[in-house]
Amino acid sequence: MAESFDVTIIGTGPGGYVCAVRAAQLGMKVAVVEKWATFGGTCLNIGCIPSKALLHASEMFEEATHLFPQLGIDIAEPRLNLTAMMAHKDDTVASNTGGIEYLFKKNKITAFRGTGAIPAAGKVFVTAEDGSAQEIETRNIVIATGSVSTDLPGIEIDEDKIVTSTGALKFKKVPENLLVIGAGVIGLELGSVWARLGSKVTVVEFLDRILPGMDGEVSKQFQRMLQKQGIDFKLSTKVTGIEKTGGGLSVTLEPAQGGDAETVATDAALVSIGRKPFTEGLGLADAGVDLDDRGRVVTDAHYKTNVNGIYAIGDVVAGPMLAHKAEDEGIAVAEILAGQAGHVNYGVIPSVVYTSPEVASVGKTEEELKADGVAYKASKFPFTANGRAKAMLATQGFVKILADKQTDRVLGCHIVGKNAGEMIHEAAVLMEFGGSAEDLARTCHAHPTMSEAVREAALGANDGPIHI
Ligand code: FAD
Ligand code: NAD
């Protein structure tokens, strides 16, 4: 007799494991299926967590080298111990993925190891690595199989010299030159890591700007900051081929709109041109589940596919490919299955680039408001006028608040600065409650904090900031 569950979740990334925990908390009998050796998906194993471990460590290295002297701390010139830095990253991953194992046990969630396939609604087949197969009976199925790196046609990834983010998280030595293809989040985060550790980093971007989708002013100013850190940009440029030479690579570049090609030599190349949904091996055609033209599982507003009893969440469905978006969808679908009104407010999903300075954003950009024909006011406050930022030598960047011209309701907030990724949440909470710039400006902020700049930007939307 096959074991039977209320819900079986395929994939244990932030979408899948959070869904499993919430479903168990709501009294369901829950199973998860995972093909990797450890739980946590892309985010915990090869994404958010290892990249943030290296971003933090490399930022400390950079600060010890360049900031300590300015703060009056004289130390011998710091030396990089890449093996120890990678061990810190690996320990961080192990501790986080082990945490998910603990959560599954604590919540009495049954974990099946192997690749899950859906022959029909109500059934999941699990094929283990040794080929043995098992059948699960289940009232509901949640597909949470995530995404994988997008390939660049004609370019073969070896995860040694021509790498995706996965290879760029485990270079054995610092490449002298690193060519990053794609000025999106992965390219700028991992490009920053290796630039701080000593690589000469050049970023090639197809579009005429970095971080497409972010506010245009943010993107422009942030590019200048990265250039000051020694990162070069070749915008409106495409890579048309990579050849392996003696010990390195020869990369052919062309203007995006066509024109003369040039070749550049590099030791390593990072392909970071986006990610695509992953549904291989699930047998969705057998189950009759529809995909869209970009390979994403199609769902309704309640995460249900076209087949009753089969749901999908996270990177495998439409929307931003972010861990917290996947988590929130995991909670929402568990609540929906329990008969509650689970839902996600897609208008208030923060987005953070964990570089130095950080870039954080929530809600609409100026470009989006203009395109929507919304009458808005923009208010900006620079960290150069913030006391705490001065004390920390962290005056780069600004806070920008966009509010409705008539109602003063905050529609977007964009921050470039140290710890921007923490500060953005006061705007997120405000927006969740439909708050105005005046609400934020009238909220007492502790002094001296970087967050005072958020309040000053809010003040600037009406009566004017105090400190400029
Ligand atoms: P995933 O995390 O991709 O998990 C899918 C899981 O499903 C995997 O464990 C996979 O093994 C399993 N699986 C797939 N098919 C099957 C099958 N048939 N049977 C069994 N198991 C299966 N997002 C952020 O919000 N913040 C960040 O800082 C951030 N940094 C990132 C850095 C990098 C380098 C990368 C690559 C991504 C980063 N992301 C970040 C994006 C984030 O990792 C994803 O948005 C998130 O992991 C998506 O979660 P998910 O649950 O949908 O899928
Ligand atoms: P991305 O979509 O953020 O950026 C890809 C970039 O590559 C874009 O600027 C695009 O214009 C460019 N590009 C596309 N094709 C190109 C080509 N042929 N030549 C040159 N440039 C090209 O994708 P990513 O950086 O690979 O990240 C993938 C996903 O992972 C993103 O959706 C992101 O949300 C997520 N992620 C998030 C974080 C975070 O939240 N901090 C960190 C890493 C990854």
Q: Rounded distance, CA 67 to CA 360, Å?
A: 23
**Ligand 1 binding pocket includes 274 (Cβ within 6 Å):** no
Q: What one-character DSSP code corresponds to residue 304?
A: B
One domain for residues 188 and 236: yes
Residue minimizing CA distance to atom 33 of ligand 1: 47
Tens of pLDDT, residues 198-225: 999 999 999 999 999 999 999 999 999 9
Instruction: Note the pLDDT of residue 1.
Output: 67
**Ligand 2 binding pocket includes 274 (Cβ within 6 Å):** yes
Instruction: Note the pLDDT of residue 247.
Output: 86
pTM above threshold 0.85: yes
CATH number for the domain spanning 389: value is 3.30.390.30
281 and 115 Cβ atoms separated by less than 8 Å: yes
One domain for residues 222 and 252: yes
Catalytic residues: 447
User: Given 219, 253, 273, which residue is the final one in a domain?
Assistant: 273
**Ligand 2 binding pocket includes 234 (Cβ within 6 Å):** no
One domain for residues 388 and 251: no
Please give the average per-residue pLDDT across 333-352, as a whole number. Answer: 98
Tens of pLDDT, residues 135-192: 999 999 999 999 999 999 999 999 999 999 999 999 999 999 999 999 999 999 999 9
One domain for residues 379 and 318: no
Residue reference for tokens 């749901």: 311
Position 343 in a domain: no
Residue-number span of the structural domain to which 218 is assigned: 162-273
One domain for residues 178 and 217: yes
Please give the average per-residue pLDDT across 249-258, as a whole number. Answer: 96
Q: Is 439 helix (H, G, I), strand (E, B) or coil?
A: helix
CATH number for the domain spanning 304: value is 3.50.50.60
Position 214 in a domain: yes
Maximum CA extent, the chain: 73
Ligand 1, pocket-test mutation among 19, 42, 148, 165, most atoms within 8 A of CB? 42
Instruction: Note the pLDDT of residue 246.
Output: 87
Q: Which two tokens stand for residue 364?
A: 């609409």
292 and 202 Cβ atoms separated by less than 8 Å: no
Q: What is the tally of structural domains in the chain?
A: 3
Give the distance (Å) from ligand 2 centre to CA of residue 275.
7
Tens of pLDDT, residues 48-61: 999 999 999 999 99
Instruction: Note the pLDDT of residue 315.
Output: 98
Q: Which two tokens stand for residue 116?
A: 């899950």
Ligand 2 atom closest to the Cα of residue 238 is: 19
Instruction: Note the pLDDT of residue 51.
Output: 98
Tens of pLDDT, residues 359-401: 999 999 999 999 999 999 999 999 999 999 999 999 999 999 9
One domain for residues 43 and 132: yes
Residue minimizing CA distance to atom 27 of ligand 1: 48
Buried/exposed code over 253-289 (b: 16+ C-beta within 10 A; e: otherwise): beebeeeeeeebebbbbbbbbebbbbbeebebeebeb
One domain for residues 139 and 16: yes
One domain for residues 362 and 322: no
User: Given 247, 273, 299, which residue is the final one in a domain?
Assistant: 273
Q: Is 349 helix (H, G, I), strand (E, B) or coil?
A: coil
Residue minimizing CA distance to atom 8 of ligand 1: 41
Give the distance (Å) from ligand 2 centre to CA of residue 88.
26
Q: Is 165 helix (H, G, I), strand (E, B) or coil?
A: helix
Position 466 in a domain: no
Ligand 1, pocket-test mutation among 35, 43, 149, 280, most atoms within 8 A of CB? 43
One domain for residues 312 and 367: no
Cα distances from 224 to residues 56, 217, 227, 361, in angstroms, run 21, 11, 5, 18
Residue minimizing CA distance to atom 7 of ligand 1: 11
Position 156 in a domain: no
Position 58 in a domain: yes
**Ligand 2 binding pocket includes 322 (Cβ within 6 Å):** yes
Position 155 in a domain: no
Tens of pLDDT, residues 66-110: 999 999 999 999 999 999 999 999 999 999 999 999 999 999 999
Position 468 in a domain: no
Provide the mean pLDDT of the chain. 97
One domain for residues 364 and 248: no
Instruction: Note the pLDDT of residue 7.
Output: 98
One domain for residues 39 and 144: yes
Give the distance (Å) from ligand 2 centre to CA of residue 274.
4
Instruction: Note the pLDDT of residue 2.
Output: 77
Give the distance (Å) from ligand 2 centre to CA of residue 265.
23
**Ligand 2 binding pocket includes 190 (Cβ within 6 Å):** no
One domain for residues 41 and 141: yes
CA 309-315-316 angle, to 5 degrees, is 45
Instruction: Note the pLDDT of residue 434.
Output: 98
pLDDT of 277 higher than 70: yes
Rounded percentage of the chain residues whose pLDDT exceeds 70: 100
Q: How confident is the model at residue 4 (pLDDT cuts 50, 70, 90)?
A: very high
**Ligand 1 binding pocket includes 165 (Cβ within 6 Å):** yes
